Structure 1
Amino acid sequence: MGGEEITSPNALPMKGGDGPYSYTKNSYCQRDALDNIKEMINEAIAENLDIKHLSPITNTFRIADLGCSVGPNTFTSMHDIMEATELKYQSQGLISKIPEFQVFFNDHTANDFNTLFTSFPPDKQYFAAGVPGSFYIRLFPKASLHFVHSSFALHYLSKLPKEITDINSPAWNKGKISYPSSSKEVVEAYASQFAIDFESFLNARAEELVCGGLMVLIMTGIPDGSSRFQAVNATLDILGYCLMDMAKMGLVSEAKVDSFNFPVYSPFCQEVKELLGRNRCFNIERFELVTRTRDVAVTNAPAVTKHTRAITEEMIKQHFGSEIIDELYDRVFHKLEEFPQFLDAIFKRSTQLFVVLKRQSIMD
């Protein structure tokens, strides 16, 4: 994801198909979060979507889901957005004006679009199209979208900060695969790349959204002043520990571990606020940190291991090969079993940023 189409090793497709370790079968945490904020999206549309101003000449309402992965969560989100939009038309006495819907499903070219397309709901009430490519660049014609949705995708950077993989740099991240427990230089390199990417994302969407169009972002977010060890970052740290254990046993090359990092960054709230403040194209209609407690059934060691595998296996495989996969995730499972207090502290509570932006008119 970046100024040009990103390919291996920086593209991060979720594990495709519908097998036991697939994203389709193990994206319950994301689904739970989306269910938790469904009413907030309904409110955003009811309060902020100016349908009289937006009414397109062609009577087609265009929605884009950026970072859609393979489902089923994307289908649920799109259904909920369309349902809330139709209710808005009804509340305004415009039942006869309810538009047709067109939904664009976007993700990297490496995404499993075949599984996505073959699992469309049979009763879908919209015209669908796949749009492969990085959402850090323009994907659509100017002023062609009415609603943009993106959930749990913007913590993936367009690329690794170059300093991270430079053995001569102070930000060389030896022995680690992520940033939370690394040096200040490593953290700053990740934060800087996130800022560049997020600004690119906002600028691209400003071109694509019609004036008055809405954008809803659900992002991993960390309360200001708190620990960086949220669920996503903690998961990567566990993987890193297991990889280093395997390197010490000669099962993988230590140099391979030293040169491997996940391009994933979870920002503090203030970082996102500052970046939104710099952008002059959107009004911030809502900015809220949502805290939720997960059910015990999805925070046990087997469930968390499968979830971790679904979102990390493809990139691990790209760098280390497929031979270590089963051994690595078996070690992750045993590490989680060994330290159940870790599950309690990290995985049972999580925070997400819920952001609603409205595209300003040219005159604003």
Structure 2
Amino acid sequence: MHTIIKAVKRKYESSELKTPEFYVGFNDVVSNDFNTLFRSLPSDRSDKVFAVPGDFHGRLLPPSSVHFAYSSWALQWLTEVPKAAEGLKSPAWSGEEREEVYDAYLSQFERDMESFLKCRDVEMVEGGIMALLIPGVPALWDPQKESLLFRGLNFSDLPLSTWSKRLSESMSRTFNLPYYFPTTEEPRAILQKSNSFIVERMEILNSGASLNVDGHVACLRAVHQNMLTHMFGAETINETFDLLLKKFQASSIYADPSSDRTVMIVAILKHKHKNI
């Protein structure tokens, strides 16, 4: 946000216009530690900040109040695990139901994206700009042959012998995550159907993360620890990620950072009209 505000200020100054005031709203789930967020912000910032506890799939701000919206590494999260993936005897990324589950995850992703766009339609001013950064997979990705969700992080593959006293095998083997990494073409099709936004620009970038094994595990732990703690209990967490580290170390995909096929889908949208 600092970079965005700096660019807008330069634009106003070059046009000899009065620089407007900037208000930045951060949203996250209610359980997020907003105090830590505020303490981490630079003390010399010129913008005013506030927090909005809530899911971005729903309304967050007043009508026609947002000039620039920015979403980074968020829209892959779904509102729920698709019903087709619930009750399976194996995880969503394996088994005979793979095609059915893939279609269900894609449909859920489409519904959630459409809900996101409808909410931002109400909140944004006419002509407002929205930038989306969505992690994805290449267009040639074959969901019928390769893992649908984690693309390698399959909790059901982890040794369960040491877990036996803590959780049942059936729990771990039917645990599915509520997110979906789209191919590069899937968000494009959804965005082009929107009646509220025009796709001004869309690019596909390599992730450029180049993380080693330790880095991958650290990132996954930061994102998933609370979710796994809630599901399986705090006593399983250290062991889970120790086992995951060993699995990644034995994987040619994660051992070589250059083999990372994840891409970043960048979309710049312009709001067509007010819809109050």
TM-score under structure 2 length normalisation:
0.90
Ranges in structure 1 where 5+ consecutive residues have no aligned partner: 1-77
> Paired residue for 2:231?
319
> Paired residue for 1:250?
164
> Paired residue for 1:146?
67
Are 2:38 and 1:117 aligned? yes
Return the alpha-carbon distance in structure 2 between the equivalents of residues 206 and 294 of structure 1. Answer: 32
> Paired residue for 1:300?
212
Return the alpha-carbon distance in structure 2 between the equivalents of residues 294 and 198 of structure 1. Answer: 25
- The one of 79, 85, 96 equivalent to 1:164 is 85
In 2 relative to 1, CA 235–106 (structure 1 residues): closer, same or farther, beyond 3 Å? farther
Deviation of 1:133 (Å): 0.3
3-state SS, counterpart of residue 236 of structure 1 = coil
3-state SS, counterpart of residue 211 of structure 1 = strand
Judge conservation of contact 1:222–1:230 (CA < 8 Å) in 2.
no
> Paired residue for 2:49?
128
Judge conservation of contact 1:213–1:358 (CA < 8 Å) in 2.
yes
Deviations 1:61-99 (A, max 9, x none): xxxxxxxxxxxxxxxxx10010011111123232xx111
The percent identity for this pair of structures is 35
> Paired residue for 1:358?
270
Deviation of 1:312 (Å): 1.0
Deviations 1:79-120 (A, max 9, x none): 0010011111123232xx111110001111122212112222
Judge conservation of contact 1:235–1:308 (CA < 8 Å) in 2.
no
- The one of 334, 340, 349 equivalent to 2:246 is 334
- The one of 165, 172, 184 equivalent to 1:269 is 184
Query: Which residue identity lines up with residue 79 of structure 2 in the other structure?
Result: S
3-state SS, counterpart of residue 233 of structure 1 = coil
Deviations 1:311-361 (A, max 9, x none): 111111010001111111000111122224443277644310000000013
> Paired residue for 1:241?
157
In 2 relative to 1, CA 345–116 (structure 1 residues): closer, same or farther, beyond 3 Å? closer
In 2 relative to 1, CA 354–230 (structure 1 residues): closer, same or farther, beyond 3 Å? farther
In 2 relative to 1, CA 83–347 (structure 1 residues): closer, same or farther, beyond 3 Å? farther
Return the alpha-carbon distance in structure 2 between the equivalents of residues 291 and 230 of structure 1. Answer: 19
Cα RMSD of the aligned pairs, angstroms, is: 2.4
3-state SS, counterpart of residue 100 of structure 1 = coil
3-state SS, counterpart of residue 262 of structure 2 = strand
Return the alpha-carbon distance in structure 2 between the equivalents of residues 231 and 160 of structure 1. Answer: 13
TM-score under structure 1 length normalisation:
0.69
Return the alpha-carbon distance in structure 2 between the equivalents of residues 89 and 346 of structure 1. Answer: 41
- The one of 98, 107, 127 equivalent to 1:192 is 107
Return the alpha-carbon distance in structure 2 between the equivalents of residues 227 and 112 of structure 1. Answer: 38
Are 2:23 and 1:91 aligned? no
> Paired residue for 1:211?
126
Query: Which residue identity lines up with residue 151 of structure 2 in the other structure?
Result: A
Query: Which residue identity lines up with residue 187 of structure 2 in the other structure?
Result: V
Query: Which residue identity lines up with residue 193 of structure 2 in the other structure?
Result: R
In 2 relative to 1, CA 329–285 (structure 1 residues): closer, same or farther, beyond 3 Å? same
Judge conservation of contact 2:212–2:256 (CA < 8 Å) in 1.
no
Query: Which residue identity lines up with residue 234 of structure 1 in the other structure?
Result: R
Return the alpha-carbon distance in structure 2 between the equivalents of residues 292 and 321 of structure 1. Answer: 32
Return the alpha-carbon distance in structure 2 between the equivalents of residues 220 and 340 of structure 1. Answer: 21
Return the alpha-carbon distance in structure 2 between the equivalents of residues 214 and 86 of structure 1. Answer: 16
Judge conservation of contact 2:125–2:274 (CA < 8 Å) in 1.
no
Write out aligned runs for 1:5-24 (5 A).
Answer: none
Deviation of 1:124 (Å): 1.6
Deviation of 1:230 (Å): 8.6
Are 2:199 and 1:284 aligned? yes
Return the alpha-carbon distance in structure 2 between the equivalents of residues 240 and 144 of structure 1. Answer: 45
Are 2:3 and 1:80 aligned? yes
Return the alpha-carbon distance in structure 2 between the equivalents of residues 217 and 125 of structure 1. Answer: 24
Structure in which a larger fraction of residues adopt helix: 1
Judge conservation of contact 2:253–2:260 (CA < 8 Å) in 1.
no
Judge conservation of contact 2:213–2:248 (CA < 8 Å) in 1.
yes
